[in-house]
Amino acid sequence: MGLAQMDFGQMGLAISDLDMECADTTLVPDLRQCAILLDIDGTILDLAPSPQQVWVPTGLRQTLARLEALTGGALALVSGRPLHDIDLIFSPLQLAAIGGHGAELRALPNAEPVLRAKPLSAALKRQLAGIAELGPGILAEDKGYSLALHYRLTPEKGSAVRAAVEKICAAQPPGAVEILPGKLVVEIKPTGINKADAVCELMNRAPFADRNPIFIGDDLTDEPVFGVIAKFGGLGFSVGRVMPEINGHFDRPESVRAWLARIASPSQSTAQ
């Protein structure tokens, strides 16, 4: 029986109010049947003024390591960050991961990643990075396969940043690039890659195949994943706001971390 087919009413859980119950642990009947897929920024880590300033709270690495063991390796991070960035943030822990919004896929921690896209051209990156001249507080982040322009430090410049990005991208060959709006960020990536397609590929690879996924994400780039997760008998949960096609939501990353710690606890896993 897939997770989505379970009678949550009999569990005494209002699934849309997960944060009130800290996502009752009975939502996960057996971690050996689950795959856990987690976005990073804004989902398990609090957003920071700049991408380089994110911090992994005490205990999160241990929680992720335990969940990886309890799921038989079916735990993956799903992020817009490149794999090398993900590995540095969570070092010395290395996990299965999808990086670059689906440009890179690694189904096993030490496996050679599958490259699913080519990086943006250096010339286009230079053009886009020049948008930072609009004023202080605009940060250009080169992700290899994409380039992100953050304006968290100067939100009033958001309209100008978006307009400049649209003008540069309009001059590219038709269908070459895609603009991804996010939380006080605009990201430009090659067309044809996304987290949803990469998750579908991951779910057909060992050790994720034939498991029921639980995906948690927070941003617009996570919405396509919510649209496909049900076909694997899984559940999707957003963070911070309600999104289309979700089964429930958490208020903030701290609540996600608390729930992950609960389902990873020895008492919970012993009961399964």
pLDDT in tens, 38-73: 999 999 999 988 888 999 998 999 999 999 999 999
CATH code of the region 122-190: 3.30.70
pLDDT in tens, 68-99: 999 999 999 999 999 999 999 999 999 999 99
Give the count of beta carbons closer than 10 Å to the beta carbon of residue 140.
Answer: 15
| pLDDT greater than 80 at residue 20 | no
User: Which is the catalytic residue, given 19, 24, 39, 87?
Assistant: 39
pLDDT in tens, 2-18: 444 333 333 333 444 55
Q: Cα–Cα distance between 142 and 149 in angstroms, integer? A: 9
Give the count of beta carbons closer than 10 Å to the beta carbon of residue 5.
Answer: 8
In the chain, ranges of CATH 3.40.50.1000 domains: 30-115+193-265
Catalytic residue flag (residue 24): no
Q: What sign does the dihedral 46-65-209-257 (CA atoms) show?
A: negative
Summary mean pLDDT of the chain:
88
- SS3 of 243-254: the string is CCCCCEEECCHH
The whole model's pTM is what?
Answer: 0.85
Q: Does domain 30-115+193-265 have CATH number 3.40.50.1000?
A: yes
In the chain, ranges of CATH 3.30.70 domains: 122-190
